[in-house]
Chain A
Amino acid sequence: MAALGQVIRSEWTKIRSVRSTVWTLGIAAVLTIALGMLICILTNHDFQSMPARERLSFDATNISFSGMGLGQLAMIVFGVLVVSNEYSTGMIRASLAAVPQRGTFLFCKLLVATALVFVVGLATSFVAFFAGQAMLGDLRAHLGDPGVLRAVFGGGLYMTLIALFSMAVAVMLRSPMLSLGILMPFFFLISNILGNVSATRKVGRYLPDQAGSKIMQVVTPANSDVPYGPWGGLGIMIAWTVAALLGGYVLLKRRDA
């Protein structure tokens, strides 16, 4: 039985010895923070000209996470690469020969990558919040306000879950091109389209990113009829991730390497 500690140490060596880790995580953080700040500045300018109804449901916290829609794409790339690199290089054979317990191998690999994403995601979320609030001037929210800490912490969780979901999908699909080709349009386009067309909105809100992003809202939009709260939304996202992980685990167990 390969000891968990050994596999975890090895996975950490793998993750820190490739440049793509720094690039993808760095881009995710920078995009999320910078785009959030930019939108906060613009909102601060336009606030007086907004309709009263929108001003009432103004969510200073959520607006500082506006960059996450783009930043999450880099997180997806990270998640996919961490897993599919093993397959595209053929390293998976050496890895699985060294750790014949495939469940252990998968668990450790995802654990290391997820822990790293969680740290980066949480830091990104906090920085994005503070930087965004600094741009909002008088409109700013405070970490002590009701629901704000939950939203900021949730931002980190959201990024972590997006990455973990991507890893699980990559375990199932193995090919980086295939995984990215499905995940990127899914999160960047399809989810948005489904969520904005009235006929499909009720379906779209159960997609992992739409449900999960609810955790970052402090003020519920006025006309919202979403049937779940912030934690309920995160729960839906977790359910998606768990399902993908199970699928990946079963396939890895059964498949020839």
Chain B
Amino acid sequence: MKKILLVEDNEMNRDMLSRRLIRRGFEVAIAVDGRQGVEMATTETPDVILMDMSLPEIDGWEATRMIKGNPQTGAIPVMGLTAHAMAGDREKCLAAGCDEYGSKPVDFAELIEKIQRLTGESE
């Protein structure tokens, strides 16, 4: 079972996404801010990280840079998942080190497909 670390501060979105992912057969660990996200990337060693960008404490861009900069967690694929969906936001996300970008509202089917590709599960 693949393990996903969901870093998301909005309670509703956290609840909704985690439940949907669990139903799809993923194990889900949850972090509520950037700092916790960085810590849990080490402790939980997830297969993929879904990272919101506007986060308290440490924002998603910085958290991603920290995760990618740490040899222990640098190899974990990170997918930015954000309501910042204007021109340039995708590039900003990738520049911070994200391997993939998804905008909110989330297209769940597409999200699953991207997660599978990132975790090497896709056919």
State yes or no: do A and B come from one complex.
Answer: no
Chain B contact residues, CB within 8 Å of chain A: none
Chain A contact residues, CB within 8 Å of chain B: none
